[in-house]
Structure formats: C-alpha cells, structure tokens
C-alpha cells in the first residue's frame, strides 16, 4: 500500500523544482511500427523512485508505472500500462511496436534524494506516406474540357507536383493543399507526363509518371463513339443475314440441279405406256390394210 501511495499521492510538501530535468525522444521522430525511448536527462542525485503518466496531469487514472530501484519488486503498473512499455533504472521509458494511439502527453515524476521533479513531453507518432497515385476526373479528355488531376496519398503533409517538360501552363490552378490541379479549359499543350511527390517529416514517396492525353474536338465525342458502336453492331447483323441468305440460295440451287438430273435419268412410266399403245395401233392398221390388198388381188 505504501508503494501505491508513493506512486500516486506524492505529498504536496515535497519540493518540486521544474526545469532541471528534461525528456528527449530517441529517435527524434517516432514512426510506426518502430520504437521510441523517452529519455530523462538532467537528473541530479540518487533516484529513490520515479513514475510515468500519460495524460494532462498526474491523476491516478493516467498512471502508467512506478519504478523503485532498490525494492525487491521494483515495478508497479497502473491503468495506462501496456506490455509494449518497459522502463530503465535511470528513469527512461521505452515504447515498442508503436501505434498511433501511443501519441499524447507524457509526464515523468522523479524523486531523488535531493528533490522531486516533473518533466513532460508531447509524443507524436508518424506513419510513412504511401506511394501517391495520380487520377483524372474523366477517362477520355477532350480539348477545352474542364479536367482535374488529383494526387492521392495517405499520411502526407505536403504534395509537390512536377512536370518534366514543359512547365505547367498558367491556366492550371492548384488547390490550397496542393493535391489537385484544375484545368478550366484544357488544351492540347497541357498534354504530357505528370508526377507528384508526397512527404511528411519522416518519409517521402514519388508517384509513377501519369501520361495525360488530350484529344482534338473532332477525334472523340460521345455521339461519334456511340455511332461507331452502332455501325459495328448493324454491320455484324447485316453480314450474318447475308451469309444466311447466300447459303440458302446455294442450297436451293443445288437441290434443283439434283432434281433435274434425276428427272432426265428416270423415264416416266406413263410416257412408256403411250408409246406401246401407239405401236399396237400402227401394227393393227398395217395388218388391216394388208388384208384388203390381198382380197382385191384375189
């Protein structure tokens, strides 16, 4: 119990002298998912115990830990303690595997054999910028269109646009945060390669080249594009109909020719019977005529 009392309820009669000790960040900029040491400097005398707090003051619910160097169980943890936090006998605090939630105000309270002192530091945790990507407000850009180019990147504090050649035209307006270039009436001279850089205090990244193509007014329009598609569809339909028609006509012609050949090779039975009948009549006539001649001769 007495250890807890030392940790949280440091007596108001203890002489607190500020400005003698200080907290330095090592490294100076904390970056996820790295580590940072909150190193206490300027301590004079022998450390009896020290405590760390995360928050606006040293209230008990902001307590992280207390360390008593010469105690058999030197570490006493509080509500703000995490397994990623460790401490050293010289009073420093180490935070590993940093997260954004680790940033905030930290207070160190050190009691030596001479005095009790407080020091504080505000920890900012940074994330590295992602590689930026340039996007356009529309897929097909026609001359005199209103066009936006936007540089998209997370965790960036600053955006810089670059164009190898030529330089940005004067009619291109850049937004206050430098993320967007606006062409109120884009011209063919604005076509070319663009890139952007995203940076913050601890990192920088550059986008891939973005090639901006600006079509002449006669080269592309939604109506002409639709007309081309319609023409392709109609042509396909007409071609299919033509193929079917030609195939049908050829098949009809082939069937007719087969039928004609079949009719030539095959004799009509009726025609055959007529020929036989005519032959019989001729023979009868001839026979009767012969008989008459014979009778007359006799």
| DSSP 8-state secondary structure symbol assigned to residue 102 | G
With a CB cutoff of 8 Å and minimum separation 6, the contacts of 150 are 134, 135, 136, 137, 179, 180, 181
Alpha carbon distance 162, 168 (integer Å):
8
User: What is the length of the chain?
Assistant: 298
Q: Do domains 2-126 and 133-212 have the same CATH topology?
A: yes
Contact between 80 and 54 (Cβ < 8 Å): yes
pLDDT of 244: 78
SS3 209: coil
Backbone φ and ψ for 269, nearest 5 degrees, come out as: -60, -40
> pTM of the full predicted structure?
0.60
**Six-digit token string for 297:** 């001769």
Q: What local confidence, expressed as pLDDT, does residue 222 receive? A: 54
In this prediction, residue 20 carries a pLDDT of 84
**Which CATH superfamily includes the segment(s) 2-126?**
Immunoglobulins (2.60.40.10)
What is the model's pLDDT at position 152? 96
Low-confidence ranges of the chain (pLDDT < 50): 1-18, 264, 267-281, 283, 285, 287, 290-298
Q: In the Cβ-directed half-sphere of 93, how many Cα atoms lie within 13 Å?
A: 32
CB 163 within 8 A of CB 194: yes
**CATH T-level assignment (fold) for domain 133-212:** Immunoglobulin-like (2.60.40)
In this structure, the number of other CB atoms found within 10 A of the CB of residue 35 comes to 15
Q: Are 45 and 138 in contact (CB under 8 A)?
A: no
Q: What pLDDT sits at residue 140?
A: 92
* Cα 197 from Cα 181, distance rounded (Å): 14
Return the H-helix or E-strand segment holding 274: helix 269-297
C-alpha distance from residue 30 to each of 92, 104, 122, 204 (Å): 15, 12, 11, 16
Q: Domain limits of the chain? A: 2-126, 133-212, 222-285
pLDDT at res. 25: 98
- The per-residue pLDDT for range 46-89, each reduced to its tens digit, is 999 999 999 999 999 999 999 999 899 999 999 999 999 999 99
Determine the distance from the C-alpha atom of residue 157 to the mean position of all C-alpha atoms in its chain, rounded to a whole number.
21
Cα–Cα–Cα angle for 82, 86, 91, nearest 5°?
A: 125
In sequence order, the 6+-apart residues with CB closer than 8 A to the CB of 124 are 29, 30, 103
């Amino acid at each position: 119990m007495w250890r807890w009392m030392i940790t949280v309820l440091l007596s108001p009669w203890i002489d607190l002298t500020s400005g003698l000790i200080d907290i330095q960040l090592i490294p100076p900029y904390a970056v996820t998912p790295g580590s940072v040491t909150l190193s206490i400097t300027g301590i004079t005398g022998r450390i009896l115990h020290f405590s760390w707090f995360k928050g606006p003051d040293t209230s008990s619910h902001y307590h992280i830990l207390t360390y008593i160097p010469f105690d058999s169980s030197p570490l006493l943890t509080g509500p703000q303690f995490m397994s990623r936090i460790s401490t050293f006998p010289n009073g420093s605090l180490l935070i590993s595997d940093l997260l954004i939630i680790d940033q905030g105000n930290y207070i160190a309270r050190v009691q030596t054999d001479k005095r009790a002192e407080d020091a504080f530091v505000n920890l900012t945790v940074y994330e590295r910028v992602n590689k930026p990507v340039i996007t356009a407000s529309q897929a097909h850009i026609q001359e005199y269109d209103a066009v936006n180019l936007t540089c998209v990147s997370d965790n960036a504090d600053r955006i810089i646009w670059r164009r190898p050649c030529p330089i940005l035209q004067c009619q291109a307006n850049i937004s206050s945060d430098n993320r967007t270039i606006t062409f109120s009436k884009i011209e063919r001279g604005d076509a070319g390669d663009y890139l952007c850089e995203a940076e913050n205090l601890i990192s920088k990244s550059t986008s891939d080249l973005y090639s901006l193509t600006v079509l002449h007014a006669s080269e592309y329009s939604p109506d002409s594009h639709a007309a081309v598609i319609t023409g392709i569809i109609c042509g396909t339909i007409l071609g299919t109909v033509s193929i079917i028609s030609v195939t049908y006509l050829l098949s009809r012609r082939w069937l007719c020719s087969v039928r004609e050949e079949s009719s030539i090779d095959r004799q009509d039975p009726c025609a055959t019977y007529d020929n036989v009948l005519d032959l019989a009549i001729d023979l009868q006539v001839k026979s009767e005529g012969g008989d008459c001649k014979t009778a007359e001769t006799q």
